[in-house]
């Protein structure tokens, strides 16, 4: 799956609200962030707690330019939790942690502006 990170890219095709509801985006708290030297591109291994319903999941995130592992623990992030897991090197990435590109295309994480309960679904 290729995601276009270009801010000049045209808007995607229109979809129905039911299509939006198929994408399950939840908020979780990063409980561990570790270097991931086995990844092809610089990345961290994130362990994210999505609360009692979704549980704790792992994610590979290419966010090394703006973040250090010690600054990530305790931060709330948004992630797609219903994609199939993907093998990234020796790790199974279970969720897609979400962000926006900065002016140079480097990932800036997104999350709530105030603390919310882990596991809350984006609407």
What CATH number is given to the structural domain containing 62?
Answer: 2.40.50.140
Give 3-state DSSP helix, strand, coil % of the chain, rounded to 5.
10, 35, 55
In a domain, 54, yes or no: yes
Q: Residue 38 in contact with residue 89, Cβ under 8 Å?
A: yes
Instruction: Write down the pLDDT at residue 9.
Output: 79
Stated pTM of the model: 0.90
Instruction: Write down the pLDDT at residue 112.
Output: 97
Structural domains of the chain, count: 1
Range of the domain at 40: 17-109
In a domain, 2, yes or no: no
> What span, in angstroms and rounded, lies between the C-alpha atoms of 81 and 96?
7
pLDDT at 1 over 50: no
In a domain, 96, yes or no: yes
Instruction: Write down the pLDDT at residue 3.
Output: 54
In a domain, 117, yes or no: no
* % of the chain exceeding 90 in pLDDT: 85
What element of type H or E holds 61? strand 56-61
In a domain, 4, yes or no: no
């Amino acid at each position: 799956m290729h995601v276009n990170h270009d801010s000049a890219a045209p808007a995607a095709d229109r979809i129905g609200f039911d299509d939006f509801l198929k994408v399950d985006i939840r908020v979780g708290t990063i409980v561990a962030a570790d270097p991931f030297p086995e990844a092809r591109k610089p990345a961290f291994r994130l362990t994210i707690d999505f609360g009692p319903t979704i549980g704790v999941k792992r994610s590979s995130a290419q966010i090394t330019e703006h973040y250090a592992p010690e600054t990530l623990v305790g931060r709330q992030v948004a992630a797609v939790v219903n994609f199939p897991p993907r093998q990234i090197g020796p790790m199974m990435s279970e969720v897609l942690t979400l962000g926006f590109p900065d002016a140079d295309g480097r990932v800036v994480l997104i999350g709530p502006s105030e603390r919310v309960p882990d596991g809350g679904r984006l609407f």
